Structure 1
Amino acid sequence: MSGILPGKRASKEGGAMSSTNWKRTLLVVAALFTIVSIAGFATGQTSTETKGVVNAKGQILSVAAVDFPQFQPYKVRTESEKKACDDYGIKYTLLQPQQVTLEGYLETLTNAINQNFDAILCEPWDYTAFKPVLELAKKKGVPLVAVHQKYPDASYFISMLYIDNAGYGGSAADALAKATGGKANVLFMMTQADIPNQVIIRNTFMDTCKAKYPNIKVVDTLFTNVNTVTAASALEAAIKAYPQIDTAIWLEGATVGVGVDVAKEMGVLSKFRVIGVDDPPDVIASIGKGEAWGTFVQNFWKQGYEGVRNIVDYYTKQPFPKETDCGVVLVDKSNWNNYLPTMWAPVAIKGKAYSK
């Protein structure tokens, strides 16, 4: 296995993801446009509750989500949305774009807005590209919930359930310092240099280390393009060029497993920490085997369930938080086989108060 160390570096500032980078970054999935519609009714309820929440026309609420469930974190989120809709007795429709591109997502979201769903959950990661579609939703009076991303203009959404990326970066630095005695040589593996949330995580990690852990050094930052071959080649070249690297932190979840494979092949796994993001099954299994060191799991369970609950509360005129930091949990050898209760613990399921 050989590769050339990319010369491109992550900038200190991050901008919105361009459609060109998005196309180049992610695999285009040639799947048929998928619509999964589920009308769920919670069990053990009275006849009034079983009817479900209704809109102004007296019809059962119909909620849609635009998402890519073929990827693990989004699968988690959509399953949590389905559970919430089942609990509240409302209809759920999952709209999966035909292609994993920015354009494909925006087209699907536009179609959803024009189908007159009662509310839609979406992830507005490109601030500029999403604006015209958000304007359309506002014009048509379709309530939107933003998940995972905190959009700069909150007026487009009835609520936003996001990850505090600065908090993520600081927590990652603290966790690594605790495990290493405050000494490590780190390589970051990002999707691209201009993915806003990844840039914030990396930069906050570096700022935290500079202020608190001067012996944790970021040696380099490389880009995977969410491609396993690219990731493997880049990592191998980096380890050869900088043999002092003892920790690789991934900020995209699709190629983390490659890190373990490369470290094994190069004979450095025993002294090399592979740190992932979210909970792909292969990474969780690798942690259980003592191979990958750990992974920072973003709470997509809370995003999905509470996003739907916010919609229900909006229609039933109940108070709900307009902004929610969903949080991140470190999964490592100590909790790899029992972390799911931790992810569900802060979720405000039906009948439980929102956390403050």
Structure 2
Amino acid sequence: MANIIVTGGAGFIGANFVHYWRKVSPDDQIIVLDALTYAGNRASIDGVDGVELVVGNICDTDLVKRLLRERGVATIVHFAAESHVDRSITGPDAFVETNVIGTHSLLKAARAVWLDEGSGVPHRFHHVSTDEVYGSLEPDDPAFSETTAYAPNSPYSASKASSDHLVRAYHHTYGLETTTSNCSNNYGPYQFPEKLIPLFLINALHGRALPIYGDGMNVRDWLHVEDHCRGIEKVLRVGRPGETYNIGGGQELPNLEVIEQVCAGVDAAFAADPSLAARFPDAPAAQGRATSSLKTFVTDRKGHDRRYAIDETKARNELGYVPIHDFQTGFANTLAWYLENQEWWKAILVKQAS
């Protein structure tokens, strides 16, 4: 595998991929291109050997072309995106700028260096997308497959759908060797604390309300981030150019059940480790109360999709992809990571408050 650019490599999934890729491809040089906006965090990739962090914007086409030429890069793994649905509802412009225009900028740079300049080197542009581009499922609908029609319902998912189509177009029109993966809900270490699991964990530790949208029965397919990284590796190594692969966790759960596992996990952790009560005295579990007492139902968000589910048959049959983390084990490991890495997320909270 040639040297590799990871866009958004200081974000949640990108950082996990950097850690994962260093383990499976120890001889590769990894160039992380990240603008270090609010969700990008240098600390997430600190200590990973052979990683060069370039602070820059994916919309800077000339910068990307220069990196491709000077570093001899023939692989781009594109994670960089605005990804929080709530933020897309209140401020959609940033999502169009990063997810659509930014992706197009990367494609232009890749085309210029890999095709127009006639380097002739084998290359791969891998685009990381989401199952949200497919819209919402009814309870008895079949899971999303790669042939499911796109029906995005939020500015976020619409911007990702647009970028998916651009990637497809650059393959079919110009011959750029691209692949796309559409993943389900990721969770695991280094996740920015605006998403459900880290937000609720940190709120529980501080005795803050756990706000549950609507009736809490919106269903998601939960994918441990390491399984996602394994799926991307398989796409890079054996995926066919021009193809899309759905990567799921096979763990379809309503939000309320996930929240109940968060509450039970925090209670069990405090029971097993009395020192947690001293570290987090405001947590109900430190005061002999159930964490579930913090659950609060709030008005549902606008356009909230009811159910997502991934059919990963194509990835399983063509790539040999099989998720190895069940939610119970994956969540237990995630909870342990957040309890052991308080300084990582505490620094984020301090930055947000400043």
Q: TM-score, normalised by structure 2?
A: 0.37
Q: TM-score, normalised by structure 1?
A: 0.37
